[in-house]
A and B are shown apart, each in its own frame.
Chain A
Amino acid sequence: MKILVCIKQVPDTEALLRIAADQTTLSDAGVKYILNPYDEYALEEALRIKEAVPGTVIRAITLGPARCAEVLRTAAAMGADEVLHLRADEIPLDGLASARALARVAAEYTPDLILLGKESIDDGNMQVGPMLAELLGLPCITVVTRLTLSAGSLTAECERDDGTAIFEAPLPAVVTCQKGLSEPRYPSIRGKMAAMKMAIPEQPAGVSAGKIRITRLTPPPARAGGKRVGEGAAAVPELVHLLHSEARVI
């Protein structure tokens, strides 16, 4: 069984983001990057399948500039067998541009299963998984919290507004992973050491120009400093009064 896991490098959730002087990009200075948290669930799921199905091979791929090789090292340290870096000057905001580049690699690799995080926490697009499936003509199950494989097919539970949906699909298929699947493991020290030294194979991503362009970045509107209403239960009548007649929200 061959599993392709598509992963992405994103700024750490703790990162303080600064808008660059051109007002359309973010300043790279001092930003720490991490593996997208939802992609960790995708990797963990692949590793669990490998433990259950002998002969499974896991290939992790990422798309982006040189700095993105780091997430492939993390994937290798966790236990991915092969990695591939699709080089591009930047990660496109247009999900379709990324999905096309990934689809070309996937079509050549012919995996039995493609796993991705349900979204990346940087642009929050939630586009690439379903787009990849559409481009490859594969079944697509999104926001999956439980995944079971059997011969040639999968059963998946997904989280959605009307409850939990249970889908069955033949393999190959695309699955996007949500928190609720097994907690991602920490890489072993030995895995980390080996990954640090490994050569990362790369090839040009061949990303086409996207059809979405950032014209301006702005910080979110600042909030005015608030009112300290008081202490303990005694302050509650005043709070309710303010919510009712000043803020008019109750």
Chain B
Amino acid sequence: MEGKFAIALSEKSGSDAAKEVSLKIKSSFPKTVKHLFIFFTPQYSPQEILNTINFTLKPQTVIGIQSPVLNFEERIIEEGIAAFASNKEDVNFREIFIKNDETQNIESSLRMALKNFSREEGFFMSFLSHKYNYRNYLRGLELAMGRSLNVFGAGFVKKYAAKNYQIINNTVSEGLVNIVGTGIKTTSLSIGGFIPLGRPFTITKTINSKSMIMEIDGKPAINIYKNYLGAKFDLFMKNYLFSLYPIGIHSPNGIHLINVIECLDDGSLACVGNTKENVQGHIMLFHSQAFAESLKNQLESIKKHGEGLVFMVNSMVRKRILKDYAQEESRIIKQSLGDKFKIIGVYSDYSFFSETETREINLESGNILMTLWK
């Protein structure tokens, strides 16, 4: 990896963190830093980070993403700044500006920007703040690019800090980051660890545009939880524990997770994820053995590349479900990948990526998205 990527972390407070990260990157790339991706928790001022980076490193491209929690190698970072830099000559990153989150606008903006861009050339990466409607966005993305683009990204539906900042070159903003990258080959995959429990059910009525599941097996959707929780259902409702038991939707690519975020008065469920009608589903439960198997099966496609940078988008809901095991999980991932792969990443409410085979965009909430950059 030498000469391609360098990673750095600082858990110092205030402006010292950005200084430390900059100096660490500088020690790896003393001459020039061409591109810098920086991930920071909400305790830090993005403007201060930007000023420090511009002063110390003067990179050609600076992309910054604020996230409530970060991943760095085998660790989960609750307060810190992590960064990876590249000085590869043939690598380029270009920002695509999208005015608002209306599907039509997204579609037209992307069509214009990606007119002559093919999947083989590189990838398209997006990060959406809670202010953006991810359904409209992904619909616009599909309409604009069909299946011709290698896409991955993540976003938030909840507000984890007073403001959800991003840095795009010399601008600090709130909202949306769209980056086209060329000169880097990426491979994306999803790591699960959830097992289906009980009888399968059929989702019979949804409002996909609002990510709502109205009915399951012809009855109010909430009944599925009532059925499984029995006398403990009231406790479940009172303590708002939907996210602990996501719904798994069967598809030709496997089971995709839908995270339930709220139950409405009519018994319908507000979710994060693709809610389609007439598909079979299950209540899902995390199981460490299933995670180990999923990891073993999936990581082979990364490990065969020998080395690289693994950009990981972990899930906030997964962290809530796993609790203390989340740290153990990060350690296992790092151990499985080995030292030749450097891991850096963020946590989000949902992630999406286009399947290598089917080229469909998978939207998930609960699994881990891993993208190998090589």
Decide whether A and B are members of one complex: no
- Chain B residues in contact with chain A, CB under 8 A? none
- Chain A residues in contact with chain B, CB under 8 A? none
